[in-house]
Amino acid sequence: MIELSRITKSFNSGKPNQFTAVDNVSLVINPAQITVFKGPSGSGKTSLLTMIGCMARPTSGRIFLRGVAAAVPFQQEGAESVEITSLPERFLNEIRRSTFGFIFQQFNLVKGISSLENVMLPAYPTGEGRALFRARALNLMEQFSISRLAGQQVELLSGGELQRVAIARALINNPAIIVADEPTAHLDSKLSQEFMEIAGRLKGEGKSVLIASHDPIVFDSPLVDSLIEMRDGAVDASRGRR
């Protein structure tokens, strides 16, 4: 479970061009569900996801991760939850690496290297043996039926293939939470549907999936458990399970 308490994120604070991307947001995200953040661009949903995903720290407020404490080596014994807002970058990062997998709007694959290497990339700095995560990457690529692309450079892949490589990469460190930012923005309807099917499958495996999107195929999907609408950095209305 992820709990956000009065989260605010402002940029350029103290300067005339100061603006607040996320304003005093409190909410609870349940595990093993698909949660969609819906809203126009600039509504703060991406900023919110970066803070939940330990990429950025809020200007004020607190975020608690419950039930993932086991993955955090430094946490004192017996603690159930981690408060991530006050942690230094290297610790945030360790949580991020072991707990979150990311899928981006542009897929953000590194050009010039093979898709297999792209999938393995998040595991490089973990200190795990290369053979181990290589096997895992090949296994993931097989699950998404892209094994034949393993040796190919990513420039040569189609949109659908790129998406699958990106998903496989998000899963390489076996995270409990998948964060996807506008994952269907560059996909046609068929591929967008396919993405939602994969999200459903991940939910079935017990993973939490957080998606920021303003694509009806995503937020109208029957697989979505909870929909959070955002506008101007604040939560507009929150619906529970439909």
Binding site for another protein (CB under 8 A): 11-13, 46-47, 49-50, 55-60, 74, 76, 85-91, 93-94, 96-97, 100, 102, 104-106, 108-113, 117, 121-130, 169-170, 173, 181
By beta-carbon proximity to another protein, the closer residue of 164 and 225 is 164
By beta-carbon proximity to another protein, the closer residue of 181 and 225 is 181
By beta-carbon proximity to another protein, the closer residue of 42 and 200 is 42
Q: How far is the CB of 202 from another protein (least distance, A)?
A: 17
By beta-carbon proximity to another protein, the closer residue of 102 and 225 is 102
Q: How far is the CB of 12 from another protein (least distance, A)?
A: 8
Would you call 75 helix, strand, or coil by DSSP?
coil
Asked if 48 and 210 touch (Cβ cutoff 8 Å), the reply is: no
Q: How far is the CB of 199 from another protein (least distance, A)?
A: 18
For residue 133, the Cα-to-chain-centroid distance in whole angstroms is: 20
For residue 138, the Cα-to-chain-centroid distance in whole angstroms is: 22
For 45-195, strand residue ranges (E) read: 60-66, 81-83, 100-103, 177-181
Q: What are phi and psi of 160, to 5 degrees?
A: -65, -40
Q: How far is the CB of 138 from another protein (least distance, A)?
A: 16
Question: How many other C-beta atoms are found inside a 10 Å radius of the C-beta of residue 194?
Answer: 16
